[in-house]
Chains A and B, each alone.
Chain A
Amino acid sequence: MALLEIRNLAVEFGTARGRFRAVDGVDVTVDAGEILCIVGESGSGKSVSMLAAMGLIAWPGRVTADVMRFDGTDLLGLSARDRRKVVGKDMAMVFQEPMTSLNPCYPIGWQIAEALRVHNAVPRNKVQDRVVELLEQVGIPDAGRRMNAFPHQMSGGMNQRVMIAMAISCNPRLLIADEPTTALDVTIQKQILDLLIDLQASHGMGLVLITHDMGVVAETAHRVQVMYAGQMVEEQSTDALFAAPRHPYTAALLDALPERAHGRARLPTIPGVVPGIDDRPTGCLFNPRCGLVTDLCRSTKPLTANGVRCHTPLGAPA
């Protein structure tokens, strides 16, 4: 049984011009011990779909799904109170901006201890010890003293380690990391990523890594989902995706990687921009930017078949 199973997820937000679907018909499956990467451009709905899984889409956002199960439990059917017993305990999330994701008013140790206390993860008199242990686990030196520091007294990389310590404090079975390295500089990115992979392996957690960095995907993921304009356009195992992308968008993304563009005078780009709220095309959402576009693409929405949402997938017998 899959650890996290989501079918036909949709997230809608009310706007001045009516409802807008930020996520439309997304399926996500994560198994225990698996690393799933979700890639896509900014605004493609990758964060929003995971926030929806965590139950963090606030009113007036609206979340619907045919299936949303965590370890066999229907998340949408849970009361708010029961859902909070899962969120932060069995499934936890690390966010993009470590400097603003910690509360400036409280010491970091207190903030980690709060997660332990609210889920009764360890006996009350063991909370302090556990906080020190967690901080050491995520590689914060001098943990006993640092636990009294405030977020503004720490660097971004250190704060992200604190966020990770907080997320793994209750030994979650699924960890969602939403662009955990985007706000950090390159050397720190590598350290944080390695830390996440180590923790994933040692705890046997499922890990969902949201990123827009194909390099990160290639190094870490077992499986990849590519999102475009709120839809999942392709899902494959990492090796297969890099070897033979099937959706034209994925292919174009890979072509745009500098590492893959050896011997070319110019780095290939994808013409046009991601459609906004007002200019969603009919048919396939990618059709205005696609090199393989047909009349069918312009008139009819493609459905997902064999892990790809395309009328003219690459590598298919034409």
Chain B
Amino acid sequence: MVRSMFRFLFRRIALIVPTFIGVTFMAFLLIHLVPGDPIEARVGERGIAPERLAELRHEFGYDLPMWQQFFKYEVQIVKGDLGMSVVTQQSVWHEFITLFPATVELSIAAILFAMLIGLPMGVIAAVRRGSAFDYGLMGMSVTGASMPIFWWGLMMILIFSVTLGITPVSGRISDAFFVEPWSGFMLIDCYWSEDEGACSSAWSHMILPMIVLGTIPLAIIARMTRSSMLEVLNEDYVRTARAKGLSTPRVVIVHALRNALIPVVTVIGLSVSGLLGGAILTETIFSWPGVGHWLVESIARRDYPVLQGGSLLIAVLVIMVNLGVDLLYGFLNPRIRR
């Protein structure tokens, strides 16, 4: 069992190699297909002497044939060097690792929010199928899943920040507080700093982006849980559980939900990998200093190393999350534990 588990892990980790080549190639190709290069983007509309432009291009190696540039880049990556941002002259890894905790924190908060509300709602809707609650929830779920995030974020800001003045408009914490960035996760750092004001400030900054980012996953999780539960509730073993004289909550949660979770976990895993890539719209609306925002800006600046390195790191993370989901399957479903 343990050995087969390691074999499974090893096979999945070996998959990272082709994925890595594919991702770097795609990122490289796509950004180079966009007209302009980092030098031109930096120069902007002011213009520059053609000789100077050629000189700078040569300095950064942008005058080489594309395949040579790609090859050089791959060699550099294999050595473990993601390169420097053309714009800030900071290492890509350093920039990523500074911004990434903000994205992770927001993603985790959003997915927890979506699960904590979506799972119970889906379960209740399935148990009370055809009831007003069921119809209401499914209606809301369609609305939630099809809501434009940009509009939804602005509406939330308009209502809660502008009109009611309950929550701040943007950022991760109020300027009045300084918290030692120990883990990079604002909520954890605030908790450790034992500064109650900082804690509540961090929470109030988190709540709107969390809801906005969690809305679509919430709608999908609720729907998926409902349909999966409806199927499982008709299974013979649920009848067996009731024939034992178990209470309805126990039948539903212990016997049905555990089986119904398998497809739901897939959906949650997909949502998490999507969120880790940076919630570009949400991060933009709330000026959240995460990687989504960073990557979008790197496109505008033609910051090749940032874009390529960032995509690669996110791809690796997505693979990790999927691996975690697959391991979780084995836990939930003994039939695939081999």
* Chain A residue contacts of B244, Cβ below 8 A: 87-88, 114-115, 118, 166
Chain A residue nearest in CB terms to B262? A105
* 1/0 contact string of A62-87 vs chain B (CB within 8 Å): 00000000000000000001001111
- Residue B180 interfacial (CB < 8 Å): no
Q: Does A130 sit within 8 A of B, measured CB to CB?
A: no
Could you tell me if A56 and B243 are in contact, using CB atoms closer than 8 angstroms? yes
Stretch in A94-102, A212-220, A301-309 with 4+ CB within 8 Å of B: A94-102
Chain A residues near B245 (CB-CB < 8 A)? 84-89, 115, 118-119
List chain A residues, Cβ under 8 A from B259.
Answer: 103-105
Q: Are the CB atoms of B334 and A88 closer together than 8 Å?
A: no
Would A84 and B237 be within 8 Å (CB), given that A105-B259, A152-B334 are in contact? no
Indicate if A92 sits at the interface (CB-CB under 8 A).
yes
B237 & A104 in contact (Cβ 8 Å cutoff)? yes
Contacts of B250 in A (CB 8 A): 118
With A and B bound together, what is the CA distance between A89 and B258 in angstroms?
A: 25
Query: C-beta contact mask, B256-279 vs A, less than 8 Å → 1, else 0?
Result: 001100000000000000000000
Closest chain B residue to A116 by CB distance? Answer: B244
Q: Which residue of A89, A93, A95, A105 contacts B332 across the interface (Cβ within 8 Å)?
A: A105
Q: Which residues of B contact A152 (CB under 8 A)?
A: 334-335
Complex Cα gap A119–B243 (Å): 12
How far apart are the CA atoms of A84 and B259 in the complex, in Å? 23
Bits for B231-255, please: 1 = Cβ < 8 Å to A, else 0: 0000111011111111100100001
Check if A163 is an interface residue, CB within 8 A of chain B.
Answer: yes
On whether the beta carbons of A100 and B243 are closer than 8 Å, the reply is no
A193-204 interface code vs B (CB 8 A; 1 in, 0 out):
000000000000
Q: Please state if A104 and B239 are interface contacts (CB–CB under 8 Å).
A: no
Q: Residue among A102, A103, A115 with the most chain B CB within 10 A?
A: A103
Scan residues 280-304 of chain B and give those whose CB is less than 8 A from a CB of chain A: none
Does the CB pair B335–A88 fall under 8 Å? no
For the complex, give the distance between the alpha carbons of A95 and B246 in Å.
Answer: 17
Interface string of A162-194 (1 = CB under 8 A from B): 010010000000000000000000000000000
A95 contact from B240, B255, B258, Cβ within 8 A: B240
A100 CA to B259 CA, complexed, in Å: 13
- With CB as the reference atom, state the residue of chain B lying closest to A54: B243
A92 contacts which chain B residues (CB < 8 A)? 243
Q: Is B333 an interface residue (CB 8 A)?
A: yes
Complex contacts, B334 vs chain A, CB 8 Å: 104-105, 150, 152
| Most chain A CB neighbours (cut-off 10 Å) among B244, B246, B250 | B244
Contact B246 A56 (CB under 8 A): no
- Nearest Cβ distance between residue B286 and chain A, in whole angstroms? 40
- Whether B246 lies near A100 (C-beta < 8 A) is no
Task: Give chain B nearest CB distance to A23 CB in angstroms.
Answer: 17
CB closest chain-B residue, reference A149: B334
- The residue on B at minimum CB distance from A119 is B245
| A residues in contact with B239, CB < 8 Å | 56, 95, 101
Shortest CB-to-CB span from A216 to chain B, Å, is: 21
Q: A95-B236, A97-B236 are in contact. Are A104 and B243 (CB under 8 A)?
A: no
With A89-B245, A150-B334, A152-B335 as given contacts, are A102 and B240 in contact (CB-CB < 8 Å)? yes
Closest Cβ neighbor of A80 among chain B residues: B248
> Do A84 and B247 contact each other (CB < 8 Å), given the known contacts A103-B255, A104-B334?
yes
Determine the chain A residues whose CB is within 8 A of the CB of B246 once the complex forms.
84, 88, 114, 118
Q: How far is the CA of A103 from the CA of B333 in the complex (A)?
A: 11
CA distance A104 to B335 in the complex (A): 7
Give chain B interface residues in 208-241, CB to chain A under 8 Å.
235-237, 239-241
Per-residue CB proximity of A35-61 to B under 8 Å, as 1/0? 000000000000000000010100000
CB distance from A29 to the nearest CB of B (A): 21
Between B239, B245, B247, B333, the greatest number of chain A beta carbons within 10 A of the residue's beta carbon is seen for B245
Q: How far is the CA of A172 from the CA of B189 in the complex (A)?
A: 58
How far, in whole Å, are A241 and B335 apart by their CA atoms in the complex? Answer: 47
Give the CA-CA distance A115 to B246 in the complex, in Å. 8
How far apart are the CA atoms of A313 and B178 in the complex, in Å?
94
Ordered by A's residue number, 30 sampled pairs between the chains whose C-beta atoms are within 8 Å are: A84-B245, A86-B245, A87-B242, A87-B244, A88-B243, A88-B244, A88-B246, A92-B243, A97-B236, A100-B235, A100-B236, A101-B237, A101-B239, A102-B237, A102-B240, A103-B237, A103-B240, A103-B241, A103-B255, A103-B259, A104-B237, A104-B259, A104-B333, A105-B258, A105-B333, A105-B334, A114-B246, A150-B334, A150-B335, A163-B240
Closest 7 A-B residue pairs measured CB to CB? Answer: A88-B245, A88-B244, A100-B236, A84-B245, A103-B237, A101-B236, A87-B245
